[in-house]
Each structure stands twice: as structure tokens, then as C-alpha cells.
């Protein structure tokens, strides 16, 4: 008898958490027109990830598949989204990362476009830096990396790989495409995502008001 491809109880728990978070993120307008993708690591070999093209505000377990760390589907006929490569890249690079959330809010899309040439959004003086694991004060600068968008996933993954030089970065923007945020589990990834959305929103607002 073959052992099962993955632990189905673990999968069911991951799917339920993804569904719960995506419902909230869709309600905030972070997943327009089926954009966005969300995953939770299932051990060293697998991740549960949302299937492409689904309305992220109304997911069911059928909309979540399992991939391995080479982006191959596991025990399903569904094909993973091209963007699954960006999730598995983070799982392979950082063994302690347990969840990756990719959203597409207006703030995230615009902040990436405006800072694409600089290659980063430089933030200063926010108390909410302390919501990012490893950061303990507002009296510092925090650089959120920005990479150019590409339809070639190998090119895009390579661009991302070179900008992740600082510890405790927890996110990056793709210009005109949105934000990737991660953490040790989905609650932490979500806290990081919510913090980045807030900080980027403040930064854009300061830019409007200081001009």
C-alpha cells in the first residue's frame, strides 16, 4: 500500500487557515479580479497553495492544492500558478519560513511603481516597525526591497534572490504587481503584511502632503 502523498489532516488545517485569511484580505480590496496567491508550508517538501484564477474572497478547499519545492503538483490534476515559484523560492531559501502571502492592493502596486528605480522603499521613524519580527524601535530606517516585474519566473526569482540581503526583511514589492510578505507561520506573515500595507500607505500619504 502506498503511503499517502501528504498528511491530509495537516492539509485540511492549512486550507482552513488560508481560506480564513483570504476572506479578510479580499474584503480589504487586496485581491482584485482574482489577483493574489497564498501558501502555507507543509513540512520540508510541500506547501498548500491557492489555485490560480479563483475569487480569493470565496475560496473552498477545492481551490487549494499541494505543490512540492520544485513547483510540481502533488496528487492533483491542477497546475500551479506561475507565481508558485516565488513561494517555493522563499521556502527553499529560508527554512524557518512557514507561510507566504502575495497581495495586490492599490497602495502596494503604486508604491512599487514609484520606487522601482530606487530598488527599495526607505521608511523612517514608525513605531509599527516593531510589528516586524526582530525590530524593536522606531529610531531606525527600514528598506523594503522593490524588484522590477517580469513574466519570466526564472528572471523574477533571480531578481528577488539578490535583494534579500538583510535579515528580518519579511517582504518585497514587485513594481506594478504587489507585495510578497512572509513569516514563521501564517499569523506572523499576516501581521507583517498588515504592517507593510500600513507603512506604505503612510509613506504615500506623507509624499502627497510634503510635495
Binding residues: 102, 104
SS3 138: coil
Looking at beta carbons only, is 8 or 58 nearer to a copy of itself? 58
Q: Which of residues 100-129 bind a copy of itself (CB under 8 A)?
A: 104, 106, 109-110, 113-114, 125-128
What x-and-dash track marks residues 64-103 binding a copy of itself by CB under 8 A?
----------------------------------------
Q: How far is the CB of 190 from a copy of itself (least distance, A)?
A: 9
> Hey, which residues does 100 pair with through a beta bridge?
39, 182
**Spatial separation of the C-alpha atoms in residues 78 and 128, rounded to whole Å:** 39
Residue 154 interacts with a copy of itself (CB under 8 A): yes or no? no
| Residues 42 and 11 sit within 8 Å (Cβ to Cβ) | yes
Please state the φ and ψ torsions of residue 171, each to the nearest 5 degrees.
Answer: -170, 165
**Spatial separation of the C-alpha atoms in residues 190 and 87, rounded to whole Å:** 15
**Spatial separation of the C-alpha atoms in residues 120 and 111, rounded to whole Å:** 9
- The residue behind cell 496567491 is 37
Residue 171 interacts with a copy of itself (CB under 8 A): yes or no? no
Chain contacts with a copy of itself (rule: CB under 8 A): 32-35, 104, 106, 109-110, 113-114, 125-128, 131, 136-139, 149, 151, 174-178, 191-192, 194-195, 197-198, 201-202, 204-211
Amino acid at each position: 500500500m502506498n503511503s499517502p502523498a501528504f498528511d491530509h489532516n495537516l492539509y485540511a488545517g492549512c486550507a482552513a487557515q488560508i481560506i480564513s485569511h483570504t476572506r479578510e484580505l479580499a474584503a480589504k480590496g487586496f485581491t482584485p479580479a482574482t489577483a493574489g496567491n497564498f501558501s502555507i508550508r507543509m513540512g520540508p517538501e510541500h506547501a498548500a497553495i491557492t489555485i490560480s484564477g479563483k475569487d480569493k474572497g470565496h475560496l473552498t478547499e477545492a481551490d487549494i492544492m499541494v505543490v512540492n519545492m520544485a513547483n510540481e503538483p502533488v496528487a492533483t490534476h491542477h497546475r500551479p500558478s506561475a507565481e508558485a515559484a516565488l513561494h517555493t523560492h522563499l521556502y527553499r531559501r529560508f527554512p524557518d519560513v512557514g507561510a507566504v502571502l502575495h497581495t495586490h492592493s492599490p497602495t502596494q502596486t503604486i508604491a512599487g511603481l514609484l520606487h522601482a528605480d530606487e530598488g527599495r522603499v526607505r521608511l523612517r521613524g514608525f513605531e509599527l516597525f516593531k510589528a516586524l519580527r526582530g525590530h524593536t524601535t522606531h529610531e531606525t530606517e527600514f528598506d523594503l526591497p522593490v524588484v522590477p516585474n517580469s513574466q519570466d519566473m526564472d528572471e523574477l526569482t533571480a531578481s528577488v534572490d539578490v535583494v534579500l540581503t538583510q535579515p528580518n526583511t519579511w517582504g518585497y514589492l514587485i513594481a506594478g504587481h504587489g507585495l510578497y510578505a512572509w513569516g514563521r507561520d501564517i499569523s506572523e506573515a499576516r501581521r507583517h503584511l498588515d504592517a507593510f500595507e500600513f507603512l506604505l500607505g503612510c509613506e504615500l500619504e506623507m509624499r502627497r502632503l510634503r510635495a
